[in-house]
Every structure is written in structure tokens, then in C-alpha cells.
Amino acid sequence: MKIFKILALAFFLPAAALSAAAAQDYAAKKFDLEGSSFPLKMAAINFLKADSSSTARALLVDRLEKETDIYIKTQLIEAVNVNWSTGALAAVLPFLDDANPAVQQSAVISLSRYGPFDRLLPRLEKTLASSSTKAGVRNTIVNAFSLRPTTSSVAALDRAAGDEKHPEGTRHLAIIGLDKAGTKDARDRAVKHSGDKSPAIRDEVKKISKKKISK
């Protein structure tokens, strides 16, 4: 009986030791994330990003909500996968309204990977329409619509193309996005802008109208 107890103890000890070691690793990474050393913060982010455990994810999300350094914030947004959980999604969404355009763009790129992307379209369009949103952020949002072509995102591209409150470059990108979608609906929506006041957009629409639709 003693032999069986010893064997059982020997079987469980490595797992317990490993668990303790992992806990120490996570505690160390949490300490690094909360510290002031840039290299240690980046190393901790990369370590946790490569770790698929719920503990690593929780540490990244928690730090994202507290971080003040702009660059580190963008790296945390990139590291947090919005498909992990509703908590991860909720942690990234507020950064669409961040005062820094680089942070906003990072949030848009992260959100563009969200599975049911259409659910985020109203929120992204709200940021797109805001008078405080810089041209670069608007362009990133329009590109996100282009990368995830659905009936709803094509309609969003159409609205962006026709909204003269947007910079001409953003509206032009929206027309190009409609072209990339490659559907009849997208092409028909693009052609509606043939009378746009922008010569560049009119030329783009003219080229699109001559293309054959493959789907």
C-alpha cells in the first residue's frame, strides 16, 4: 500500500511543481507589465501573446485597461484577440474613441478580425462619422470594411463614398473597396457615384463600370 501511495505522490508532484512554476512566471510577467522598463514590458507582452492560457489573456486585458504609454497601448491592443471573449472585445472597443490616432487605428485593425464583424459596423461607422476622427483613422476603418466584404459592409462603403464630410481620399478608398468586393451589388453601388464632384472618384468609377463581374 505504501508503494502505491509513493507512486501516486510521484505522479502528482511534477504537475504541482509545474503549476507553481507557471504561477511564478505569470506573477513575474504581471510585475514587468506594471513596471516602467520598456524592454521588460514588451518581453512580457510577447510572452503572454504566445501563451494561449486564460491567465495570460486576463493579464493582457487587465493591463490594456490601465496602460498609459501610447506605444505600449497599441502593442497590447494588437496582442488582445477580440475573439477570445466578450471581455476582450469590451476592452478594445473604447479605444475607438481614444485621443491618439495611432491607438484608434490599432483598435480598428484589432476589431476588423472579429468573427461576427457586421455587429461592429454601427460602432465603426460612428467613429468614421465623428468630426474629431483624423483622415488616417477614417481610411483604416474604410479599409477594414473592404477586408471583410459582406452585404452590410458593402452598404457601409457605399455610404462612406457618398458622404462629402469625409476627405476625398477616404471616399476614394471606399470606391476602391466596392471594386474589391467584386459583387454585382458592390459594382452597382460604385457606379451610382459616377457623377461625384471629385475627378479622381469619377475616373475610378468609370474604370469599375467597364469591368466584368465574376461573382
User: Are both 120 and 214 inside the same structural domain?
Assistant: yes
What secondary structure letter does DSSP report for 93? Answer: G
Asked whether residue 107 is domain-assigned, the answer is: no
What the block records as the C-alpha cell of 211 is 469591368
Asked whether residue 168 is domain-assigned, the answer is: yes
User: Are both 7 and 70 inside the same structural domain?
Assistant: yes
Q: Which residues form the domain of 125?
A: 116-215
Residues 6+ apart with CB under 8 A from 36: none
Number of domains composing the chain:
2
User: Are both 186 and 121 inside the same structural domain?
Assistant: yes
User: Are both 213 and 170 inside the same structural domain?
Assistant: yes
Residues 105, 93: Cα–Cα separation, whole Å: 12
Q: Please give the chain's pLDDT, 215 residues, in tens.
A: 444 343 333 333 344 444 777 788 889 999 999 999 999 999 999 999 998 789 999 999 999 999 999 999 999 999 999 999 999 999 999 999 999 999 999 999 999 999 999 999 999 999 999 999 999 999 999 999 999 999 999 999 999 999 999 999 999 999 999 999 988 999 999 999 999 999 999 999 999 998 876 65
User: Are both 123 and 76 inside the same structural domain?
Assistant: no
